């Protein structure tokens, strides 16, 4: 079993990512262009190159947490361990993280700006996603009416940079989506991070339509310097608003944004945190 923590070599490092259960996977080392694919490029390489039966991805500042752990000021959370993962996956295919939207429905997401550095001369990420799903519809892949129906009522989606699961299930998805993305991209303008967004929104839909057994995992999100907790996600239901709240009032004016490569050089920082495994 191995969980790969995605990030840049310049990002802050956590001391519990020590090469045992968790190790870093850097976007600078991926086969695919990290400016276009981001963590989806990590996904491709890990699925093809890892020898582990169970693999996972976590974001460099988002980690799956043990919800039975009683948090204190000294130990704000505990990441899930190998024993807990094995127990969860005995009768399931995947542990995944739901990304909850700041809008009422998933479809409204396409009316919001995604990326502050989008090229205004190219189709926006919103349009790219619509065109991608139309591309799948035209190829008669899946029942697209099911996908659109879900998008019209859902206020969440499964994030593909937060999962732990059986490698054969992940490899099946990677071998399915990458040829399709390559074909789609041949005649389509390459907006920044286009395939990252495509991979994020398609991952969970694929797993649901393939009727994979998914268990929702809960996560803690760290501030960008990884020195404090930005938010916890404890519990949510398809029929209820998510219990997702800000823990640190100092970061309320610093909304969570997709990971970007830093633009200026900085020395690597390793945080000697008290977060425990």
CA distance 108 to 253: 22
Q: What's the CATH code of the domain at 172?
A: 3.90.550
pLDDT tens digit sequence for 82-131: 999 999 999 999 999 887 765 555 555 554 444 545 566 666 677 787 88
Residue 105: predicted pLDDT: 53
Which of 70-74, 93-97, 219-223 holds the top average pLDDT? 93-97
Mean pLDDT for 47-68 is 91
Q: Is residue 50 scored above 70 in pLDDT? A: yes
pTM: 0.76
Q: Is residue 8 part of a domain?
A: yes
- DSSP secondary structure letter of residue 5: E
pLDDT-derived band at 248 (thresholds 50, 70, 90) equals: very low
Query: How many CB atoms are located within 10 Å of the residue 25 CB?
Result: 22
Q: Is residue 32 part of a domain?
A: yes
pLDDT-derived band at 171 (thresholds 50, 70, 90) equals: very high
Q: Is residue 24 scored above 80 in pLDDT? A: yes
CA distance 255 to 123: 24
Q: Is residue 40 part of a domain?
A: yes
Q: Is residue 141 part of a domain?
A: no
CA R_g for the chain: 18
The H or E element containing residue 202 is helix 194-209
The answer to whether the CB of 117 falls within 8 A of the CB of 35 is no
Residue 93: predicted pLDDT: 95
What percent of the chain clears pLDDT 70, i.e. is strictly above it? 71
Q: Is residue 16 part of a domain?
A: yes
The number of distinct structural domains making up the chain is: 1
Q: Is residue 222 part of a domain?
A: yes
Q: Is residue 194 part of a domain?
A: no
Q: Is residue 167 part of a domain?
A: yes
Query: Mean pLDDT of all residues in the chain?
Result: 75
- DSSP secondary structure letter of residue 144: H
Residue 120: predicted pLDDT: 65
| Strand duo 270-271 + 13-14: pairing | parallel
CA distance 208 to 200: 14
- DSSP secondary structure letter of residue 126: H
pLDDT-derived band at 257 (thresholds 50, 70, 90) equals: very low
Domain that holds residue 60: 2-103+156-181+211-271
């Amino acid at each position: 079993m191995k969980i790969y923590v995605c990030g840049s070599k310049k990002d802050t490092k956590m001391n519990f990512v020590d090469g045992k259960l968790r190790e870093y996977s850097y976007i600078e080392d991926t086969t695919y262009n990290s400016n276009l694919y981001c963590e989806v490029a990590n996904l491709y390489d890990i699925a093809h190159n890892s020898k582990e039966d169970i693999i996972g991805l976590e974001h460099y500042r988002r980690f799956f947490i043990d919800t039975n752990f009683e948090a204190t000021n000294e130990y704000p959370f505990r990441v899930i361990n190998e024993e807990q993962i094995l127990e969860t996956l005995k009768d399931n295919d995947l542990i995944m993280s739901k990304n909850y939207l700041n809008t009422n429905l998933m479809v409204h997401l396409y009316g919001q700006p995604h990326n502050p550095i989008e090229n205004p001369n190219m189709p926006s990420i919103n349009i790219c996603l619509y065109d991608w799903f139309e591309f799948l519809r035209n190829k008669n892949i899946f029942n697209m009416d099911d996908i659109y129906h879900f998008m019209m009522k859902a206020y969440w989606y499964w994030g593909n940079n937060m999962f732990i699961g059986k490698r054969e299930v992940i490899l099946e998805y990677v071998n399915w989506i990458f040829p399709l993305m390559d074909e789609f991209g041949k005649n389509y303008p390459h907006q920044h991070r286009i395939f990252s967004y495509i991979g994020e929104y398609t991952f969970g839909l694929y797993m649901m339509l393939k009727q994979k057994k998914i268990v929702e995992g809960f996560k803690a999100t760290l501030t960008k310097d990884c020195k404090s907790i930005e938010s916890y996600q404890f519990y949510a239901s398809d029929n209820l608003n998510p219990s997702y709240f800000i823990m640190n009032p100092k970061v309320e004016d610093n909304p969570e944004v997709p990971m970007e490569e830093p633009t200026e050089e900085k020395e690597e920082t390793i945080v000697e945190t008290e977060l425990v495994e």
